Amino acid sequence: MGNSRRGTIQTDGRGRITLPPELRRHLGVEPRGLVSVEPRDDGSLVLRDPHGERRHRLRTARGAFRNQGQSVSDLLAERRTEAAGENAR
C-alpha cells in the first residue's frame, strides 16, 4: 500500500477480497470485524470503520446539546436534595 495507500486487491473465486494488513491497521479493523463500504458514482469504493462513524455521530450529537440546560448529574443532585427534605419531614 505504501504512503499513497493505493493498491490493487484480487478477488477470490467467490468474489471476496482480503484487505492487506496495512489497510486493516489503517482502518482499525479487527479480525472478523466490520468494514463500511460506500460505492461512489465514479466507480470507486470508500471503506470506513463503521464504529468510527458511530463514535463521530455521538460526539457530534453530544456537542449539539452542550450547555443546553441541566446535566444528568445536576438533575440527580437536585432530586437527592429534594428526597432528603422529604425524608426529614
Q: What is the per-residue pLDDT across 29-38, written as a single tens digit (0 to 9) for each?
A: 888 888 888 9
The residue ranges of every structural domain in the chain are 21-88
Percent of the chain with pLDDT over 70: 83
Q: Residue 38: which residues within 8 A CB-CB, separation 6 or more?
A: 45, 46, 47, 48
pTM above 0.85, yes or no: no
